[in-house]
């Protein structure tokens, strides 16, 4: 069996793989992790939902109890337009920080989970339940890899609880909102720009749509933990050239929902507000996740964090969505906590970094949780 792997060094190795979604497929990174886990005693399978877009599922030896699942994603967002001071694919460390695209979101989480899992197997800590590792492709564009695994029979197996290693600064989060991304399309009639009266301007129609969306409020009580649903107009595009009346415009709408809402009803509500002449199409449709704070698994996580930090963390939720949207229901609605070493505010930032100390501490927290869940 392979020697112990350092989570900081492994994070650096993972950052050096360019897995920017959608331009740089995750296959090489997934193969690297597959080899590492196989050497450590795991059964590993790669699953591609498109050429090179590979997710990894790894199983420890079977036990009588349902496994603990460690889950995360391999892809990252693009670098952005601003110049980086640190090479985004070098994994440089400076003043206790590890820099690079994906260092927080979420290759440090993947590294910490892999190292903890390898250590648990090496130490013989899995006595009653095993470990399942699910490292997916395509999370940043709507959980594509997780959805592919969920609809492919026999790939995920079973699990009794799940940790999603998204960036939380080492603090446990018990849920997140759902995401419904819609594309609203307005149509017009093109004409020469010098004769606008002969056409119908789709951008003017789109402007009225944006105004209607700005004033739209969802009539639903706020969730005690997740708060109110939100709506944001993120993109708008239309027209082919400045001297023509545009015959089409497209608006990108980002809605974050709470458990009291059903996405089909939300889409209908938006459609009624915009009127029948606006075409609506879904881009991303993933539900929210929330586990009761009194669930025994969640209580165990909070207890372990309290022991390490000296105070009990408050119940909180994530503002982003995660692969738990797909994986939690695919595993039958298991208790799920979002807990990772990356820094929440660093996700998608220029000169993204993760705190080295938090990578090391969260790895040990994963080990403790694995011993408690799988070794009792």
Q: What is the CATH number of the domain that holds 348?
A: 3.40.630.10
Strand partners, 56: 46, 135
**In this structure, is residue 69 part of a structural domain?**
yes
First to last CA, the chain: 24
Phi, psi of 265 (to 5 degrees): -70, -40
Taking only the tens place, the pLDDT of each residue in 267-318 is: 999 999 999 999 999 999 999 999 999 999 999 999 999 998 888 999 999 8
One domain, residues 165 and 136: yes
Q: Let me know whether 292 and 207 are in one domain.
A: no
User: Strands, DSSP E only, in 83-219?
Assistant: 93-94, 97-99, 129-136, 161-164, 175-176, 178-187
- Is residue 207 domain-resident? yes
Sequence-separated (6 or more) residues with CB below 8 Å from residue 72? 106, 109, 110, 113, 134, 135, 136, 164, 165, 166, 323, 340
Residues 24 and 137 in one domain: yes
Helix (H, G, I), strand (E, B) or coil at 192: strand
Token pair belonging to 252: 């990108």
Whether 248 and 319 map to the same domain: the answer is no
Of 255, 286, 317, which residue sits at a domain end? 286
On average, the pLDDT of the chain sits at: 95
Q: 247 and 309, same structural domain?
A: no
How many structural domains comprise the chain?
A: 2
221 and 163 share a domain?
A: no
Task: Identify the sign of the CA torsion 374, 61, 26, 161.
Answer: negative
- Give a yes or no: residue 351 inside a domain: yes
This prediction has a pTM of: 0.91
Overall average pLDDT of the 357-367 stretch: 97
Asked if residue 84 and residue 166 are part of one domain, the reply reads yes
Identify whether residues 100 and 226 lie together within a single domain: no
Last residue of a domain, one of 286, 321, 342: 286
Instruction: Specify whether 11 is located in the same domain as 108.
Output: yes
pLDDT score recorded for residue 344: 87
190: CATH = 3.30.70.360
What tens digit of pLDDT does each residue of 165-208 get? 999 999 999 999 999 999 999 999 999 999 999 999 999 999 99
In angstroms, the CA 57 to CA 51 distance is 17
Show the domain range for 77.
7-176+288-375
Q: What is the pLDDT of residues 31-55, one digit of tens each?
A: 999 999 999 999 999 999 999 999 9
In a domain, 94, yes or no: yes
């Amino acid at each position: 069996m392979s020697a112990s792997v350092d989570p900081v060094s492994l994070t650096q190795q993972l950052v050096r793989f360019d897995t920017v979604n959608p331009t740089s497929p995750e296959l090489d990174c997934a193969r690297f992790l597959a080899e590492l886990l196989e050497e450590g005693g795991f059964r590993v399978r790669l699953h591609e939902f498109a050429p090179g877009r590979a997710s990894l599922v790894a199983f420890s030896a079977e036990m009588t109890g349902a496994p603990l699942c460690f889950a995360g994603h391999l892809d990252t967002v693009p670098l952005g337009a601003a110049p980086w001071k640190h090479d985004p694919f070098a994994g440089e460390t400076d003043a206790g920080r590890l820099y690079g695209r994906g260092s927080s979101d979420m290759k440090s989480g993947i590294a910490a989970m892999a190292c903890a899992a390898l250590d648990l197997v090496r130490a013989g800590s899995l006595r009653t339940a095993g470990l399942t590792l699910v490292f997916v492709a395509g999370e940043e564009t709507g959980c594509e890899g997780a959805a592919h695994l969920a609809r492919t029979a026999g790939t995920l197996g079973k699990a009794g609880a799940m940790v999603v290693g998204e960036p939380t600064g080492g603090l446990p989060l018990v849920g997140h909102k759902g995401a419904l991304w819609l594309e609203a399309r307005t149509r017009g009639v093109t004409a020469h720009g010098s004769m606008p009266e002969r056409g119908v301007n789709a951008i003017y129609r789109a402007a009225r749509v944006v105004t209607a969306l700005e004033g739209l409020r969802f009539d639903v009580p706020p969730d005690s933990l997740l708060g109110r649903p939100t709506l944001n107009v993120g993109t708008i595009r239309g027209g082919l050239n400045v001297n023509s009346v545009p015959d089409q415009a497209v608006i990108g709408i980002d809605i974050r929902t709470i458990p009291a809402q059903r996405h089909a009803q939300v889409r209908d509500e938006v459609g009624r507000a915009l009127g029948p002449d606006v075409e609506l199409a879904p881009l991303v449709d993933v539900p929210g996740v929330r586990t009761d704070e009194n669930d025994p698994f969640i209580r165990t996580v909070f207890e372990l964090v309290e022991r390490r930090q000296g105070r009990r963390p408050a119940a909180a939720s994530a503002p982003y969505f995660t692969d738990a949207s797909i994986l939690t229901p695919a595993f039958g609605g298991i208790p799920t906590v979002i807990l990772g070493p990356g820094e929440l505010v660093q996700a998608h930032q220029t000169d993204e970094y993760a705190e080295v100390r938090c990578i090391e501490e969260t790895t040990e927290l994963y080990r403790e949780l694995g011993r408690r869940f799988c070794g009792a």
